Amino acid sequence: MRVRLDSEDRAAFLALPVQHRTVEPASYMVREGERVESCILLLTGFAYRHKVTGDGQRQIMAVHMPGEFLDLQNSLLGVADHNLQALTRCEVAMVPVAALRRLAEDRPRVGQGMWIDTLVDAAIFREWIVNVGRRDSISRLSHLLCEIALRLDEAGLVRNGCYELPMTQEQIADCTGLTPVHVNRVLKELGRLGLISRDKRAVRILEWDRLQEIGDFNARYLHMEAGGPAKLHSAL
């Protein structure tokens, strides 16, 4: 969570009745239209939120990584307005919404922490609107790669500017509002420009500053701790 809790609050949080479960790749955790009764904490693995349009196109609205709280969104609103699907195999802890709600009432500090967590999610949604609405394909992809780099770094999953991005090019296309074919071309272009290199699903960022520049990337919207971005920056 993106908020500091004192030990008592933390204890209350950890005392929540959780149910551990393993989720297979590509399986749905929540489907649009379902009533959601429990909330998911992602322990390991990746997941993503998406909607499908009337003519069958898919748009991914968020990618989630280990340590993140999923579905505070859907569960508090009652009926899910989008799908939540596993990208990789995931280990999750499920918490009944009622318990979470009670916790938020008994310990306002914890409630506020979760609130802020969802506000950061919202900030990321906003940036994605900008990304998809106003940037050309090379900027869009660069921006996505920058965001994922910083968030993975925060989760401790970046080594020497290199990280595992467990998405197919089709899924990357669905994040950026492009087609898989074009994602492929732009990814190659980023390689040709010497900004990144790829090996399978692994991405290495070769020129962090220029990638940020081309991606029109400013980390402010991620609302990370002060040390966050700088840390990666120095590692690159």
Piece in contact with DNA (CB under 7 A), picked from 30-38, 72-80, 165-173, 221-229: 165-173
Q: Nearest approach, Cβ of 77 to a second copy (angstroms)?
A: 5
Report the alpha-carbon distance of residue 16 to residue 19 in Å, rounded: 10
137 binds, among DNA, a second copy, none (CB under 5 to 8 A by kind): DNA
Smaller CB separation from a second copy, 3 or 94: 3
Check binding of 176 to a second copy (CB under 8 A).
Answer: yes
Smaller CB separation from DNA, 149 or 187: 187
Check binding of 136 to DNA (CB under 7 A).
Answer: yes
Smaller CB separation from a second copy, 82 or 151: 82
Smaller CB separation from DNA, 114 or 175: 175
Q: Nearest approach, Cβ of 138 to a second copy (angstroms)?
A: 13
Piece in contact with a second copy (CB under 8 A), picked from 20-28, 100-108, 156-164, 198-206: 100-108
Among 12, 76, 94, 157, binds a second copy (CB under 8 A): 76
C-alpha 125: how far from its chain's center? 10
Check binding of 187 to DNA (CB under 7 A).
Answer: yes
CA dist list (Å): 232 to 72, 144, 149:
29, 16, 8
Per-residue binder mask for a second copy (CB under 8 A), 78-97, x = binder: xx-xx---------------
- Do 158 and 145 meet the contact criterion of CB atoms below 8 Å apart? no
Check binding of 197 to DNA (CB under 7 A).
Answer: no
Piece in contact with DNA (CB under 7 A), picked from 44-52, 67-75, 117-125, 197-205: 197-205
Check binding of 52 to DNA (CB under 7 A).
Answer: no
DSSP the chain: --S---HHHHHHHHTS--EEEEE-TT-EEE-TT-B--EEEEEEES-EEEEEE-TTS-EEEEEEE-TTPEE-HHHHHHSB-SSEEEESS-EEEEEEEHHHHHHHHHH-HHHHHHHHHHHHHHHHHHHHHHHHHHH--HHHHHHHHHHHHHHHHHHTT--BTTEEE----HHHHHHHHT--HHHHHHHHHHHHHTTSEEEETTEEEES-HHHHHHHTT--GGGG---THHHHHHHHH-
Chain residues that interact with DNA, rule: CB under 7 A: 136-138, 168-170, 177-182, 184-185, 187-188, 198, 200-201
